[in-house]
Amino acid sequence: MTFRVGDQVRVSYRSHDGHHRTPGYLKGMRGTVLRVHATFTDPETRAYGESGLPERRLYLVDFAAREVWYPNAVDGRIFADVFEHWLEEAS
Amino acid sequence: MSHDHDHITHADEPTVAGRVGALAELLVEKGVLDQETIRARIDWLVSRTPADGARLVARAWLDDAFRQRLLDDARSAALEVGIDPGPSPVVVALENTETAHHVVVCTLCSCYPRSLLGPPPDWYKSLAYRDRAVSDPRGVLAEFGLTLGDDVEVRVVDSTADVRYLVVPQRPPGTDGLDEEALAALVTRDSMIGVARPLAPA
């Protein structure tokens, strides 16, 4: 599904066998869509010599550092680029 | 910050340079790349310096309409003033303010706006920076000599994919009347990664 700026999302908590661009420390974390960038070829297949098609939409997602690093007390925000197929709707 | 501890090598393994050389040789042999393409790409990479990024920042400080265009679409803004924004189709400029400070990292590898800043410093590629910039940003910034007030929100930008990020630092005080060239001379590489403030005017 496609998301819009301001949407609440959650990064899929799943493992992936092979190259992917979703940082492990953000898996399962909830955030807010900050920017909808564009579509790009998929690094998960491109990394293995394939075309990377279909292109995947990339989002800049805003996370609260205190939630990401809980119980460590880290303040501020983490903005990270996450591909659409790694994002789920968060209620 | 030391930048040697991420090279975990064993005695019987070739060096990184050795492996890259062997890979390049194979790619040429198999016809994937030719020597000329590799040479041209290296020439382009080493020709880039932080001067282009600095010019964008200085212009944004002087021209509010340009600043807005830079923040809206940094790639178009760079092209507008004849600066090569690089191969990435999306370049994002993030502005530091009195209440928000951005710092860029790539936790997965070393994604970096090479076209605007030149080759990344070794510490940017180190495991220590990539790990701690997201988990202890204030601590890392303090090690770079940058202490931010509690009222300043630290925003760590993890550049994980195809988009490249440029930090637009705050214009230093005492720079009224300086022209674009004089202002650009104050804008360091590190201030555009977000680990330092621009230089103070002489």
> In this predicted complex, what is the ipTM?
0.96
Would residue A2 count as lying in a domain?
Answer: no
Residue A1 counted as domain residue: no
A47 part of a folded domain = yes
Closest CA to B98 of B174, B170, B185: B170
Contact state of A40 with B89 under an 8 Å Cβ cutoff: yes
Interface of B with A in 171-190 (CB under 8 A): none
Say if B68 is an interface residue toward chain A (CB within 8 Å): no
Provide the domain limits for residue A74: 8-89
Task: Using alpha carbons, select from B140, B195, B193, B178 the residue that is nearest to residue B62.
Answer: B178
Work out the average pLDDT over B147-170.
97
A54-74: pLDDT as tens digits? 999 999 999 999 999 999 999
In a domain, A3, yes or no: no
Looking at residue B4, its pLDDT comes to 47
The one-letter amino acid code at B83 reads I
Residue A34 sits in a domain of what CATH number? 2.30.30.50
- Count up the domains in chain A and report the number: 1
Q: Is the pLDDT of residue B1 over 50?
A: no
Please tell me which residue in B111, B115, B126, B159 is annotated as part of the active site: B111
In chain B the domains, ranked by start, together with CATH numbers, are 16-46 (no CATH), 49-193 (3.90.330.10)
Note whether A72 contacts B154, CB cutoff 8 Å. Answer: no
Q: CA–CA distance from A63 to each of A7, A76, B143 (Å)? A: 12, 9, 24
Measure the CA–CA gap between A89 and B14, rounded to whole angstroms: 46
Contact between A23 and B160 using a beta-carbon 8 Å cutoff: yes
Q: Report the predicted TM-score, pTM, of the whole model to 2 decimal places.
A: 0.91
For residue B107, what is the nearest residue in chain A, using CA coordinates?
A: A23
